[in-house]
Amino acid sequence: MTARVLDGTAIARAIRAEVATEVARLASSGRKPGLAAVLVGEDPASAVYVRSKGKACEEAGMHSVTLRLPAAATEAELLETVDRLNADPQIHGILVQLPLPKHINSEKVLRRIDPAKDVDGFHPLNVGKLVVGDKTAFRPATPYGVQQMLIRSGVETKGAHAVIVGRSNIVGRPMANLLIQQGPGGDATVTVCHSRTRDLPSVTRSADILIAAIGKPEFVTADMVRPGVVVIDVGINRVDDASRPKGYRLVGDVAYGPVSEIAAAITPVPGGVGPMTIAMLLQNTLQAMQQAALD
């Protein structure tokens, strides 16, 4: 069997177009969702992410600002920036690009963001809302994107055994919370694995849906999956490749070639989950504005 490829680029494009249509509709009543990204320091990967988020916002017709602070900025300066954005009526969503320099307490900064503008969904209030199934929660963009991919690709989650490898606050844990909610893209039976899981291959082989969020190149091999599984590869890893102009290529957490011979469906890297993350961030910013209007 050769797996169906789940095309994240195409699904993300469709979601971004839906968001843009809604933004255009709101513009006729003089309202415009705004997203602010705060970037501290010069980390090149973070700068690329922030630039593409800003560009995606503008393409969707949203207001976008990027605030750049030097790597030496103090925690107090960053908190003050967050406070200013919290108070700015043109800004509905705030994201502080991680990782932050070591001298800044990330937890403290993330907790300073007004939960009503916390479009990354990392504030404990939104985490709690997600756990209890409150529909006003902001769903962290990457697992939200995975859930949308499953729904829009016609993958049935109801009653399926979903195995997630990875328990981070950004991917694994919110992914589990989304998949156990009632309704479309939910109602799954979920197992969460991590580095202390005993006999991981026997657990992953029991999956109907396998979600890899580990951060180790091509970690999930063909002997770890069973025929017919749906594989979602969240991983983005650089591996050296002298044949590429940049000297590296991107691979996921799944050995794509061998696993795609066995799986029913699989997401590629790049072009799978990656593009979904930005699309869902735009969706969350729109949600933030809509919810603010109801307050």
Any idea of the CA torsion for 209, 212, 218, 219, to the nearest 10 degrees?
Answer: -100
Which CB sits closer to ligand NDP, 172 or 185? Answer: 172
Burial class of residue 24 (count of CB atoms within 10 Å of its CB; 0-12, 13-18, 19+): exposed
Does residue 270 interact with ligand NDP by CB under 6 A? no
Query: Smallest distance from the beta carbon of 294 to ligand NDP, in angstroms?
Result: 29
Conformational region of residue 199, where left means phi above 0, alpha means psi within -120 to 50, and beta covers everything else: left
Query: Smallest distance from the beta carbon of 197 to ligand NDP, in angstroms?
Result: 6
What's the CA angle centered on 135, arms 130 and 141, to 5 degrees?
60
Question: Measured in Å, how far apart are the chain's first and last C-alpha atoms?
Answer: 52
Q: How many CB atoms neighbour CB 214 within 10 A?
A: 23
Dig out the tokens for 65 from the structure. 């600002």
Query: Smallest distance from the beta carbon of 122 to ligand NDP, in angstroms?
Result: 12
Catalytic residues: 53, 97, 120
Dig out the tokens for 258 from the structure. 């061998």
Dig out the tokens for 4 from the structure. 């169906």
Separation between Cα atoms, residue 206 and residue 224, nearest integer Å: 9
Which CB sits closer to ligand NDP, 126 or 142? Answer: 142
Which CB sits closer to ligand NDP, 33 or 274? Answer: 274
Separation between Cα atoms, residue 140 and residue 171, nearest integer Å: 8
Cα separations (Å) of 42 from 53, 69, 70? 16, 9, 8
Does residue 52 interact with ligand NDP by CB under 6 A? no
Which CB sits closer to ligand NDP, 116 or 266? Answer: 266
Q: Which of 100, 274, 282, 287 binds ligand NDP (CB under 6 A)?
A: 274
Query: Smallest distance from the beta carbon of 207 to ligand NDP, in angstroms?
Result: 14
Query: Smallest distance from the beta carbon of 249 to ligand NDP, in angstroms?
Result: 14
Where does this chain touch ligand NDP (CB under 6 A) — which range of 16-24, 27-35, 102-110, 273-281? Answer: 273-281
- Positive or negative, the CA dihedral 184, 22, 12, 282 is negative
Query: Smallest distance from the beta carbon of 120 to ligand NDP, in angstroms?
Result: 11
Per CB under 6 A, contacts with ligand NDP among 113-172 are 142, 165-168, 170-172
Peptide bond between residue 174 and the one before it cis (omega within 30 degrees of 0)? no
- CA count, 13 A, side-chain hemisphere, 140: 22
Which CB sits closer to ligand NDP, 25 or 248? Answer: 248
Per CB under 6 A, contacts with ligand NDP among 185-214 are 193-197, 200, 213-214
Which CB sits closer to ligand NDP, 81 or 204? Answer: 204
Tell me, by CB under 6 A, how many residues bind ligand NDP: 26
Q: Write down the number of H helices and E strands in the chain.
A: 10, 11
Q: Which of 157, 204, 260, 277 binds ligand NDP (CB under 6 A)?
A: 277
Per CB under 6 A, contacts with ligand NDP among 227-256 are 234-237, 253
CB-based closest residue to ligand NDP: 168
Dig out the tokens for 2 from the structure. 């050769």
Q: Which of 78, 137, 211, 273 binds ligand NDP (CB under 6 A)?
A: 273
In the complex, the residues that contact ligand NDP under the rule CB under 6 A are: 142, 165-168, 170-172, 193-197, 200, 213-216, 234-237, 253, 273-274, 277
